[in-house]
Chain A
């Protein structure tokens, strides 16, 4: 029986409705199946162009069928196909390259500016953490061992001689194993930053604690060096990568606080909506944080060991800081067109 005959013979109006449109549906199903299998390139141009039209036709068929047909199998099929093609039509269509372009071309700096308030909170927390670490160790040097994990404090302990400390700051490495060191540092720091962000999920409190703890470690270390008059050299040693790395950790913590704050105080939106809005914004910041940490790892692994004097270290560190600030404050501002 040909389709023409079937059409004229179908007793039910809903069956005729189906037979008239069946060809379009199977064509769409064919396209969708190929795309799902990753064979998009083998599709004809016509098919790719037809996809949105076929999808919208299918949706209207589905709406009609729901009101006119009692063929449950047919409606199930249409629903399933509509869902599958919906995912392709509204899939993640931005290619990675284009997404990266828009990310560096303003998406990142806009996201950073959007969480400004949380950055101030995180900055305050970090400064407070460093101060706490310094004051605690200054009051009782036993605190040092509580704050700094064992593998950090080889010679850098309270009461170490100035020469020993100076040795850790200058000329300790002869350029060997720098690449490994950089990669290790990056991987380690990135995991810490991701943690600082992810912990924000629990109402931001763990993020804040993590920031305080890490900065207290730094404050304690600063005290050890300050005791031997090496404050400026230590800050120089730290700043060459630290301006980038601490900035990245600041942003990660701020992103965590942003999410936590949105969950705790969603305002007029629902909790879930507020959380997902904040989460997407913070995710952008986090991608940037990972990028900054790669830079920091390279600076720490290579530049710090290669530039062996304080002035040069300050120059590089300060330069990096200036670069980041310029990017975040000035870049990617949307110019408002008059009347727009």
Chain B
């Protein structure tokens, strides 16, 4: 993608660049999204299946409990009391149908577009084209689930149970199961059959906190009327050794604030720019250097010049 600097790969560091995609909002702003990994998808699905089975068992138990209560109330007349029995049976059949089909629909149509399993895994459904996730899309992606998951399961278990599985049908069934079940592994966006048909994909939720200003102490010093940047003064040459990559590394070190890392980085910077490393005020030194470096890089950025890292040519 060449339309803006946003898409330049080095402006963003990600844990797994293979799954990074760009989605353009209707306002035309590209946003980074991360496609959910196959493991998270499988985990979410397993959780959902367990929940559905649990719900079915719960309803069955409740039905049996009611049946038992009827038995107590009616005594020997249970045979003639077909009305409530039928009602229970109807209720059971319909609720099992609903659990199997409507569970996914209901949750994916909600604000978070995720079933309980997906929520637990921190993933959600979204429209691939960046538009609205419509009810039709959610219905389409879940109707296909039947052929991807439940049908092969039913096929295998019933064939196994009735003993009608000849070698050929068993293998054909196995290939069938694998074809649909492993479909997400054969495309880079981890789309399953339902996603293809519905125009959706499953992406990771993001939840990042707004951190503090990276180098507050240098600003503090100015407010207190002390000498700018706490006495550190860097020359052009001192600041021209690093690029944006190193700046971000430094930002990371400052944000985490581990003493050992601070000392190590301070020492290596001092060595690079030929300063004598002091001790005890690594943090102040690093913050001052960070502020100066960022000011310089941002300044040239405003003129359209960016420097990727220390290996690229200084502008």
Q: Which residues of A contact B (CB under 8 A)?
A: 1, 5-6, 8-15, 18-19, 22, 25-26, 29, 35-36, 38, 40, 56, 59, 62-63, 66-77, 79-84, 86-88, 90-94, 96, 99, 176-180, 182-184, 186-187, 190-191, 194-195, 197-199, 201, 259, 272-273, 275-284, 286-287
Contacts and interface: CB of A to CB of B under 8 A. Distances in A.
B112 A74 contact: no
Contact of B133 (A56, A84, A91, A195): A91
Contact of A195 (B124, B146, B205): B146
B13 A284 contact: no
Given A69-B298, A92-B113, A276-B198, A15 B31 contact: no
B4, B82, B228, B298 — which one has the most chain A CB atoms within 10 A of its CB?
A: B298
Interface stretch (B47-55, B61-69, B134-142, B232-240): B134-142
A13 B31 contact: no
A283 B143 contact: yes
Q: Is the interface of B mostly helix, strand, loop or mixed?
A: helix
Interface string B121-161: 00010101001111111111101101110010000000000
Given A87-B126, A180-B89, A11 B219 contact: yes
Given A1-B220, A286-B143, 8 more contacts: A36-B111, A67-B301, A77-B209, A179-B89, A272-B196, A276-B137, A280-B136, A287-B139
Interface stretch (B37-45, B247-255, B266-274): B247-255
Contact of B143 (A38, A72, A194, A281): A194
Contacts, number: 224
A11 B232 CA distance: 14
A15 B128 contact: no
Nearest to A190: B97
B301 A70 contact: yes
B291 interface: yes
A80 B211 contact: no
B206 A18 contact: no
27 contacts: A1-B223, A10-B219, A11-B219, A11-B295, A14-B294, A18-B213, A62-B29, A70-B294, A70-B298, A73-B211, A73-B255, A77-B210, A80-B206, A82-B31, A90-B133, A92-B109, A92-B132, A99-B135, A176-B82, A180-B86, A183-B90, A186-B94, A201-B144, A275-B199, A276-B200, A283-B139, A283-B143
Given A11-B222, A66-B6, A83 B210 contact: no
Contacts of B4: 66
Contact of B295 (A8, A12, A190): A12
B137 A283 contact: yes
Contact of A91 (B132, B200, B205, B220): B132
B186 interface: no
A6 to B, nearest CB: 7
Contacts of A25: 210
Given A77-B209, A82-B31, A87-B126, A92 B146 contact: no
Interface in B183-211: 193, 196-200, 205-211
Given A94-B135, A275-B197, A9 B126 contact: no
Nearest to B31: A83
Closest 7 CB pairs of A and B: A276-B199, A279-B197, A198-B147, A283-B140, A80-B206, A9-B223, A280-B136
